[in-house]
Structures are given as C-alpha cells and as structure tokens.
A and B are shown apart, each in its own frame.
Chain A
C-alpha cells in the first residue's frame, strides 16, 4: 500500500493540479536550478526566462536517477537536438555538451599520474598493446560548430569583440581537469580520433591505426596526453 500511495503521489505531482503544486514547484525548481548552475553559457545564449522554461520541461521529461543533483543533466545536449523552440540555435546542443563535460570535470577525482619514463622503458611491442582510458573527468567534444569560441565569448566579464562566426569551423576539444580547474584544450582531428579510440578501450596500436602523421607527432600527442593527465 505504501508503494502504491507513493507512486500515485508522484503521478499526481507531475500531472498538475492544485493539491500538490508546492511539491511540483520544489521538484521542478530544484532540477531547473541544477541545470542553470551546470549550464551558465546556455542560459546566457537563450536568456534566463527561456532557459527556465526549457529546464522545467526537461525536468518533467527526463527523470533524475541520483540523489545528488550534481549528477543531473547529462541528457540535455541530446534533448536539445529535438527541442523545437531552440531550432534556430543549432549549436546549442553542443554548447550544452561542452558545459556538461566541464561540469563533470569540475567534480571528478584527480587522475593518478602516468609514469612517462616507465612507458618509454617498455618495449615497443608491449607499448602498442596498452589500452589507455580517459582519466576521470576527461571527455571529448567533437562539434561542427565553434562551441569553444561561443563558450569563451559568453564568459562573465568578457570584454572586446565577442562576435563568433558560425562558419569558424568545427571544434575538437579535450575537456579535463587542469592545473587551474576544469578547462578545455583544442586538439587536431588525428588527436581526437586517437583519444576517441582510448575512450573506447582500444589498445594503442588500434587507436593509432588511422594516424596519418609522423611517428614523432604520435609520440608528441601521447606525451601531451600523459603530462596533462588526460589518459589513465
């Protein structure tokens, strides 16, 4: 009976109606607040009022699966792909993905450092078999839009020319924890593909199969990823 009463209560809460209005406002308000906190650039791009309405609709449609509000909102990028009222801003979904990745990086554990000397001491055949993964809080963003520039132009207190040309080209980014907190770094198409292979758990030789640049540049890309602790 307890379970049935609670299920009925939750159904009534989302269905509308005056009786549970206070609870409905608390539920939708808490989830919308969380999305605003994790997506400040999206708020700025569409305006506070539009974002609030969007966040409340998202909160009805997409259940929270954790008691920690910090975990809520991973689906916002995908949700925005088909969110009709925002169709005029085709880059919004990828900005949300970038902000989500930054949000996760901000709250992730520090990655343990890899030992570059130990890696280079390995015989090449063994090194090729290593399956790196991405470090906690590291994510890749691959967007057809210059979401990196859009993000930078929409930071609080930004001065000067904030015009972003949407044809400025795609953004290929590594989002991670850095020495000054969560941030993103631009990488080459080849690097993005390499790291995507790592994210899928491929061994080095397979992740680097499509590497068309020099062996030295592959070594440099790996060294960069190791020293920045993007891979674990």
Chain B
C-alpha cells in the first residue's frame, strides 16, 4: 500500500504540504501577525513587493519564518511579444532569493505590448507559431530566475478565431517544450469553460500528470452572460467538484485559495481553506487517487 507521501504528485513543489495555503493580502497582515493562524503556506504576489523599500518587507520576513511560501507573478508577460523585461526579472530573482519560495509561477498570458503595460492577464492566440515563442520565453525566464516556473491557465472572456489548438493542448505543449510546471487554476478552467464553451472536465482530464504542481481555488461571479473571475466570492460548489476531479487525476497537490475583492475576515477564509483541506485529505487516502 502506498504511503500518503507516495501519493503526492511527483511534480508537487518540494517544501509544501498537500494542503490549502492562502494568497497573502494586506487586508490580513495584522490578523496574521497577531493570531498564530494555522496557514500551511502563503502565496506571495510578487509585483506587490518589488519596490526597494517595500513597506511590507517586515511582514514577509515574519511570515516566511513561520511557513513556506510560493511566489506568484502577474508581470512577466510570458505570452507577450515585447522583449523580456530583464530589470523586472532581476527584481523577481532578488525577491525569490530572499523568500526561497517552494514554487515560482506566472501565467499563460500576455500583459504588455509595445511597452504599454495593461495589468491584466490577456489571452494568447493558440497558434503553432505562438507555441515556439512562448516556450522559448518561459525557458529564458526560467534561466533568468534560476528556477523552474509553473505556468497558470487564466480565465477567458474572448477567443482568437485564429487559434489552431485547444487551450489545454497549448498549455501542455508549452510545458513540455519549456520543461516547466503547470499551476492549474480550477476556477479559471470553470469560468473559461462556461464563457468560451468547452468542457472543464475534458480540460482537467487532458493535462499531463507529471507537470501539474499546484492548484488554485477562487470564487467567481456572474455578470450577464459571462462568469467573471473576480476572486470576490466564496469558491462555488461546482469548482470544488472540479477540484476533486483534479485531485483524483493529479494526486493531493498543494493548493492556494485566492481572494481579492470583498475580502472577509481571516477566519472565514481559513474555514474555506479547511474545506479544501478535507478534500485533499480524502485524496491522500489509499486508493483515492489514480495519480500513483
């Protein structure tokens, strides 16, 4: 019988427990420093902490001493066509050297064009041509950071008619060519599937087991015909169901709960994370996972 540890996915970031961590937000700094809340690890939003005199540095130091961290970037524009921003990568690397994160991630998206930064995660056209381009950028970014990157799927609202591949095919192929990991955001899969009309289950079922290293959970909200990935609500039940499906396929992976709007008190988020923990624990039981 496999031990629980053996049931963890081989790609899972080493130092992280197979539990649900929290995306660190300033709204919870005070509560986290005062109460010694049981947070298995923190996901740190890189672009919030790149300034030389980052006022939150003491908070990061205190939490880093308490729990492992992951470093999550939204600014590398790995799907973009502007030259890679070497100065930004150097700052990310310095922050990573300080935090020693168990995982560094960014998105399968672009965020700037012709030097104009848009601060959004914009869709990549899934073209053969883009495949080579993005994989090469990811590989070069990994070299610059001295670390592997986990590439995250984003929420989709518009598609390019020119796309030649499905998103999951594109993501898997980029990961293979760049030899990077995948951070699977199950809420983004759910939102994109609803907005763009594909099967969320087929997406999860098709990703390569050995590449998926971490999962993201968040809430979405409906607006007219669309689902919006607002991170402004509790995780929806069907997203938890998709999460379970992912655990069955990939094994019990570290997960992160993200909340950016209508941020509730820390205790409420921790309760939600415990719900994910219960599913993770179940996935660790012998026979629960087909990930081996």
**Interface, chain A (partner B; CB < 8 A):** 1-3, 5-7, 9-10, 13, 19-20, 22-23, 26-27, 30-31, 63-70, 106-110, 136-137, 177, 181
Contact = CB atoms under 8 A, between A and B. Distances in A.
A27 B54 contact: no
Q: Size class of B's contact patch?
A: 35 or more
Contacts of A1: 127, 129, 162
A9 B117 CA distance: 13
B55 A68 contact: no
B115 A23 contact: no
20 contacts: A1-B127, A1-B129, A1-B162, A5-B160, A5-B162, A7-B113, A23-B157, A23-B158, A27-B120, A67-B47, A67-B112, A67-B119, A68-B47, A68-B50, A69-B47, A106-B55, A107-B52, A107-B53, A107-B55, A109-B53
A67 B53 contact: no
Given A30-B120, A69-B119, A177-B53, A6 B113 contact: yes
Contact of A30 (B50, B114, B119, B125): B119
B141 interface: no
B21 interface: no
Interface string B50-88: 111111000000000000000000111100110001001
Contacts of B282: none
B273 interface: no
Given A2-B127, A22-B228, A68-B88, 19 more contacts: A3-B81, A10-B116, A20-B157, A20-B158, A22-B157, A23-B118, A23-B158, A26-B119, A26-B120, A27-B119, A64-B117, A65-B116, A66-B88, A67-B75, A67-B112, A68-B51, A68-B75, A106-B53, A109-B53
A67 B119 CA distance: 7
Contacts of B162: 1, 5
List 8 A-B pairs, minimum CB-CB distance, nearest first: A67-B75, A109-B52, A107-B51, A30-B119, A63-B116, A64-B117, A3-B81, A22-B157
Nearest to A107: B51
A61 to B, nearest CB: 12
A10 B113 contact: yes
Nearest to A11: B113
Majority secondary structure of chain B interface residues (helix, strand, loop or mixed): loop
A7 B114 contact: yes
Given A107-B52, A108-B52, A110-B53, A2 B129 contact: yes
Contacts of A69: 47, 119
Interface string B212-238: 000000000001001010000000000
Contacts of A20: 157-158
Contacts of A23: 118, 120, 122, 157-158
B133 A2 contact: yes
Contacts of A65: 115-117
B122 to A, nearest CB: 6
Given A22-B228, A31-B119, A67 B85 contact: yes
A232 B123 CA distance: 45
The listed residue with most A CB atoms (<10 A of its CB), out of B51, B54, B75, is B51
Nearest to A24: B120
A22 B226 contact: yes
Contact of A63 (B74, B115, B125): B115
Given A6-B110, A67-B112, A27 B118 contact: yes
Contacts of A110: 53
A13 to B, nearest CB: 7
B130 interface: yes
A5 B164 CA distance: 14
Given A2-B125, A109-B52, A67 B158 contact: no
A9 B228 CA distance: 19
B111 interface: yes
Interface in B88-145: 88, 110-120, 122-123, 125, 127, 129-130, 133
> Among the interface residues A20, A66, A177, which one has the most CB atoms of the partner chain B within 10 A?
A66
B252 to A, nearest CB: 32
Nearest to A13: B118
Given A2-B133, A136-B52, A63 B117 contact: yes
Contacts of A30: 119-120
A116 B110 CA distance: 50
